[in-house]
Amino acid sequence: MGDWYFLLSVTLRQIMSLQYDAEFAKEAAPILQHLTQAPKPALNDVATRRAMLGAMTREEINLPDDVEHMVHSVAAPDGHNVPVHHFRKKVPAREGGEPAIIHIHGGGYIALSAVGCSTPHGASVSQTGIQILSIDYRLAPENPYPVPLEDCWSALQWIQSNAERLSISPARIAVMGESAGGGLAAALTLLARDRGLSPPLAKQILIYPMLDDRTRTNHAGELAFWDDKDNITGWTAYLGSKVGSDAIIPYAAPARVETVEGLPPLYLDCPQLDIFVHEGMEYARRFVAANIPTECHIYPGLPHGFEALAPGIDVTKQAISNRYKAMSSF
């Protein structure tokens, strides 16, 4: 039966050996049951995926008593106004400016919003004291590459130019993002290096980042919440007919970058049952090889977006603690 049968057998055994973390499976049981019963959208069905992801978030902002929220409007080169949602503590700013994190939300490049993904920000700001500025970039396919990235670049430039007024130290700005937001954060870091941003970015914090448009096999099978069809749909919406080809440049898909030299320190975490774990580990390996300070965590038995599905389990609490430390150390 040849090599294909051997490879298929190995893949099936690997998938069968994987399972959800027991604590996660218990807490997330209702959601898991719903997701199992829900029909999967067809390849390149953006509208259904957008609706499904949107149904898992709320377009409202709830904050602790010690955190305030404001919205800035940043002009993109084409005249579009990019909303930037600013979260900070209600205390007098420290003299000389404070560190800040530019946040970029996830959604496969096709869905969600800065408001819909704002739930963690209140607790993050309250616990760390670090300001968070979340960019509401435009989505694909209506606005394909490079529009979302250039929206983020415009916001970064505006934040750095207005750092004194915002009580931010321009030398202590990091970028952070989850999923597609992690991919955009990585791309923004490349853009900042190559366009000579000064001062340079201080750190990048990538949470299960979407880095590589050359979609590989789904090693986790049905345990993965974002699978190969979802991934192809998102990347195709973002990059169009050139997706997966040699025409794609690193600013569009950061896994393609030739060298990571000159990039800021990296924090990256990813659950093992995530289609992005292999590209994330490879990206982190390149930073280690380049002697750039790197911290990487892989969480076994957990899928993409696990912290939102099971916020009370021990592994989620540990992951959040690790992220808070990363957010407070630049």
pLDDT confidence of residue 87: 98
pLDDT confidence of residue 16: 55
In the chain, domain spans: 2-327
pLDDT confidence of residue 5: 36
Which residue numbers in the chain have pLDDT < 50?
1-15
What is the dihedral sign for C-alpha 290, 296, 302, 307?
negative
269-284 tens-digit pLDDT: 999 999 999 999 999 9
108-149 tens-digit pLDDT: 999 999 999 999 999 999 999 999 999 999 999 999 999 999
Q: Which helix (H) or strand (E) covers residue 88, if one does?
A: strand 81-89
Give every CB contact of residue 223 below 8 A, 6+ residues apart in sequence.
15, 18, 19, 20, 273, 303
229-265 tens-digit pLDDT: 999 999 999 999 999 999 999 999 999 999 999 999 9
- Work out the widest C-alpha separation in the chain, in whole angstroms: 71
Angle ∠(315,321,324) on CA atoms, nearest 5: 145
Please state the CATH superfamily assignment of the domain spanning residues 2-327 in this structure.
Answer: Alpha/Beta hydrolase fold, catalytic domain (3.40.50.1820)
| Rounded Cα–Cα distance for residues 136 and 105 (Å) | 8
pLDDT confidence of residue 189: 98
Give every CB contact of residue 111 below 8 A, 6+ residues apart in sequence.
49, 50, 53, 54, 139
Predicted TM-score of the model (pTM): 0.94
Dihedral in degrees, nearest 10, Cα atoms 174, 60, 109, 296: 40
| Rounded Cα–Cα distance for residues 100 and 125 (Å) | 10
